[in-house]
Structures are given as structure tokens and as C-alpha cells.
Amino acid sequence: MSFYIGVFVFAGIYGILAMSFTLVHGTAGMFTVAHAVFFGIGAYAAASIGHGLPPGFVLFDIIAAVIITVAVAVPVAVVALRERGQYMMLVTFSTQIVFSVALLNIAYFGGEDGLGGIQPLRIGNLIANGPIASLVVVYVLLILVYFLLRYIEHSALGRLLRAIREDELAAEAFGADVWGAKLIAFVASAGLAGFAGALFAHYSGYISPASFSFQIAILIVTISVLGGQYSMIGAALGAVVVIWMPYLIEMVGFQSVHVAALTQLLYGVLIIVILFLRPEGLVRERVKLYTEVAMERRGGRGDEPA
């Protein structure tokens, strides 16, 4: 039983990761394939910093991990945003390659073996070591992140990002600060991915380069397409479906040697089915509905000339 709860915990962490991807890709329309990098930086930063700390300082190293991720994301974003369009994918892809190679070859990060013995999630004396406690912590965080992102999406900044997604040049012609908005979205998204990475490191207790490879970047895109590219709830839902997939296949009775291949096959089939039947994914984008603001104070004091 506790094993399956653990799968849900991972699904929650990937849900946070996928929502951060939705911010940059679904809302702002930037196609980045470096999200596994920021996920990984968060994880490795939390693990390395947490290693030297006494127990109970988990929160500290998670915050530090987010700051470090943001610090790396800024220069990547500045380079990736130099040109419009496909340039971003090339730069983020290169970032992924550099990151993977670096992880494998830096002894401090354990090379291929990775880092182990990472402290469990813990707030003060409250240890979220057991699966149920972890489940509660991760899903409370997931819900908080959801509300934060929904707030951003419904704000003027979110509107600006969606306008840029729809037509960047038109947005610019109306004086929008396209570059600044994209930078904020990219960096905020990376910071959240780093946060998810830190949670991942603390929950799994062991991390290795395989968890942050290009394949994981593709997994994030898979989650996003399945769940709904433009929906935060879709991202969380997609994460549950995708993370559960291999375990479901195993439960149906397939031998474990076949599970990995079958999982990949099923991801592919599901994506084709979804793109064919419901291209927007399981959950669609919700447009913000405005109620009419009365035109009071018409001609009154301080009213700008029409």
C-alpha cells in the first residue's frame, strides 16, 4: 500500500514540475526543452547544500536550491531570448546536453552514481518521512503552487504572456515589454522547476543524472500534451496519468522486463490519440471571465478625457 502512496507522491512532484512547464510553454508560448535541467539543478543543489546541514534545515536548502536555479536560469534565458522562435529550443537543448555531460563528469556530484543519503522532507521537528506525511506535504505544496500560478495567469502579467503567445509582434506594436515578460516567465518557471527538484531529492533520498536527462524533458512535454498544454490542472492530472503508467502496466500482469518498452509505446499511442481526438489535451484552457465595470464618475473629477 505504502508503495502506491509513494507513486502518488512522485506524481505530485512531477505535477509541480509540469505546472511550471505550463507557465513557460502553455501560457507564454515558449518551447523550452531545458526543464529537466532546472529540475536537476534544484535537486542537486538541495542535496549538496543539505548534506552539510544539521537535520531540520530542509526548508533552508530548498530555498537555497530555488535561488541557485534562478541564478542559472537568468543567463540561459538571456541567451535563449536573443532571437525569436526556434532559437529558444536550440539554446535550451544545448543547455540540456551541457548539463547532462557535466553531471556525469563532475566527481563532486557523484558522476553516474549520483548522490545518496539525502535527508527526508522535514519541517522543524515534523518529519515527513512516512509516505502519508510526504503525500500530505507534497499535495499541500502542489495546491499552493496551483493557486500561485492561477493568480499569475489571471493577472495582467498572465494576459500579457498569453498575448505574446498569440502574436508577439502585435503585442510589441501595442507597447508591450515582450522581452521582459518572457524573461520573467522563463525564470519564474525555472525557479518552480528547481523547487520541484529539491522536493524530489528530499523525497527519493537518492538522485542520479538519469533522473534529469533529455528523456525527462520529453516526459514533461508528454505530461503537458496529455493533460492539456494550456491548463495547470491539466498538467497535474497529466502527471498522475504518466507517472502511474508503468505501474499500471505492471499491475495488469506484464513482466517487469517489458514494462519500460510498453510504457514508451503507450505514451506514444496516447499522445497520438489525444492529438487526434482532443488536441487541447484532457483539460482545456479556461478563459478568465470579466464582469462589466460600471462607468461611474463619468465626467466627474479626475476622469481622463476619452
Partner 1 sequence: MSQREEAATATLSLRNVSKAFGGLVAVRDCTFDIESGCITAIVGPNGAGKSTVFNLITGFIRPDAGEIIMAGENLVGMTPRKVFQRGIARTFQGVRIFEGLTSLENLLMAGTSVQALPLLVRPRAAKQAETKNLRKAWQVINEIGLVDSANKPAGELGFAEQKLLAIGRLMMTDVTVLLLDEPLGGLDNRAVDGFVERLRNLVTSGNRTVCVVEHNLDAVRRIADRVVFMANGEVAASGDVNEVLEREDLTRLYLGVVATKGES
Q: Which residues bind partner 1 (CB under 8 A)?
A: 155-157, 159-160, 162-163, 165-167, 169-178, 180-181, 183-184, 285, 287-290, 292-293, 295, 304, 306
- Distance (Å, whole) CA 243 – CA 197: 16
Least Å from the CB of residue 271 to partner 1: 22
Give the type of residue at 108. Y
Give the type of residue at 235. A
**List of residues 6+ apart from 147 with CB closer than 8 A:** none
Q: Name the 3-class secondary structure at 115.
A: strand
**List of residues 6+ apart from 231 with CB closer than 8 A:** 22, 26, 281, 283, 284, 285, 286
Least Å from the CB of residue 231 to partner 1: 13
- Distance (Å, whole) CA 138 – CA 144: 10
Q: Name the 3-class secondary structure at 25.
A: helix
For 252, the grid coordinates are 495488469
Least Å from the CB of residue 296 to partner 1: 9
Least Å from the CB of residue 97 to partner 1: 30
Least Å from the CB of residue 221 to partner 1: 20
Least Å from the CB of residue 233 to partner 1: 18
**What's the chain's Rg over C-alpha atoms?**
21
**List of residues 6+ apart from 86 with CB closer than 8 A:** none
Cβ proximity to partner 1, 3 vs 174, nearer residue: 174
Dihedral sign for Cα atoms in the order 134, 139, 140, 142: positive
Cβ proximity to partner 1, 156 vs 252, nearer residue: 156
For 115, the grid coordinates are 548522490
- Distance (Å, whole) CA 265 – CA 223: 15
Least Å from the CB of residue 195 to partner 1: 18
